[in-house]
Structure formats: structure tokens, C-alpha cells
Chains A and B, each alone.
Chain A
Amino acid sequence: DAGVIQSPRHEVTEMGQEVTLRCKPISGHDYLFWYRQTMMRGLELLIYFNNNVPIDDSGMPEDRFSAKMPNASFSTLKIQPSEPRDSAVYFCASRAGGNQPQHFGDGTRLSIL
């Protein structure tokens, strides 16, 4: 079965540029999550959606970050403008309802120069 698919796997760009990360959740999952992982702060939840609706975005660091889920099979996380401190690995995860576990993608390694 296909897992959570993220693209690109690696992104290197200069500060000030717009960055868009993409995620395709597991089919049938109605929850989608965006996380960020750094050495200093570990794994942090940024935002999550339920049935394509953003439920909790309290982890989004600032207004430069935005996330959308236009349909059940696609979500984006956008950073505009990007800054060097945004460099991290960004993970997308999805899960079915109830007590089902989250399943993670392999992440996007983002480097802002």
C-alpha cells in the first residue's frame, strides 16, 4: 500500500524565496498533519486538518507559514518569504479516525541559504 507521499525530498533555496512543500495522505485517512523537525527543538506539530478543514494551527511559527488542503488527497505547506531559520525536515502524516495511529511520510529536507 502506498504510504504518505511528500515532495520534494530535498529543497535548497535562497532566503526570501517562496517554498511550497506537498503531501499526499494515505487514501481514506481523514486527518492530515504537518510537522517540523530540528536538532534544537525536536519534532513539532505545526498544523493539522480533519476532513480538509484546518483544526489547530497553533504550532505555525508565524504568518510567513501557511497550509492548505484543497481536497482529501493533497495538502501544501508554504513559506513566504523563507528565512535561514526555517531550515529543517518537514514531515507530513495522516491517520484514520478513532485511536488509529499517525503514519508519516519520509519528509522534505529544506535548506534556506
Chain B
Amino acid sequence: DAKTTQPPSMDCAEGRAANLPCNHSTISGNEYVYWYRQIHSQGPQYIIHGLKNNETNEMASLIITEDRKSSTLILPHATLRDTAVYYCIVRGNFGNEKLTFGTGTRLTIIP
């Protein structure tokens, strides 16, 4: 699987949009980008995933660049409950079930 690079930490003011970047410059054509987050002492929570088109769901939006070498997770109106470690993971669709969780980005929402 392609390696991902994320900033170790970010702050965001409550109510503002949180934009979390991820670089995956070695991504291959059949690999998806998945985003998870982990709130202290809980299991990783799935947020969103995509291949090449931008995606939106009730939690977040995922913007993938045209060359697919990077992506941005957007939490449109951050709340204190969004404070967590966010993981960007790249995984192929077939034959490789392993999700490689790196160190992620520790997002802190500031009141």
C-alpha cells in the first residue's frame, strides 16, 4: 500500500471548517483513500473514502487532487467532539485487507 504523510497536529476553532491534509504521492490507480478517526479510548471510526472523485457524507467531505497524490478531509463545522486523531489510509481494493494506520494528525478543536 502507498505510504501517507500527515501533519502531526493541528488546531481549529470551534465552528470553523477543519481541513486536514494528506500526501500519498505513490498511490496507484486502484487504491482508495480512507479516513478514520480515533477518539481517546474508543475504536477507530470510519469517516469517508474515495477513489478519484470528491465525496461528501453526513460527517465530512473528501477532496482528492486530480493527480490523486494528495487529499484533504474537511469537517465543515468543527465541534469539540471532533477532537481526535485522524488517520489517512490508502488501500487497494483486492487482495490486501491490511489497513496501515500511521501516526495520524492530532486535531484539537479550540472553544
Binding site for B on A (CB under 8 A): 4, 31, 33, 42-43, 45, 48, 55-56, 91, 93, 98-99, 101-107, 109
Contacts and interface: CB of A to CB of B under 8 A. Distances in A.
Contacts, number: 42
A104 B98 contact: no
Q: Is the interface of A mostly helix, strand, loop or mixed?
A: strand
A104 B97 contact: no
Contact of B46 (A56, A102, A109): A102
Q: Is the interface of B mostly helix, strand, loop or mixed?
A: loop
Interface of B: 32, 34, 36, 41-46, 49, 51, 93, 97-99, 101-103
A106 B97 CA distance: 20
Given A43-B101, A48-B97, A55-B97, A104 B32 contact: no
Contacts of A98: 93
A93 B36 CA distance: 13
A91 B32 contact: no
A91 B43 contact: yes
B66 to A, nearest CB: 20
B97 A33 contact: yes
Nearest to A42: B101
B49 A106 contact: no
Nearest to B35: A101
Contacts of A103: 46
Given A42-B103, A43-B101, A55-B97, A101 B43 contact: no
A101 B45 contact: no
A1 B99 CA distance: 24
B102 to A, nearest CB: 8
Nearest to A33: B97
Given A33-B97, A45-B99, A48-B97, A101 B49 contact: yes
Contact of B97 (A42, A56, A109): A56
Given A42-B103, A43-B44, A104-B46, 12 more contacts: A4-B43, A31-B97, A33-B97, A43-B101, A45-B97, A45-B98, A56-B97, A93-B43, A98-B93, A99-B51, A104-B43, A106-B43
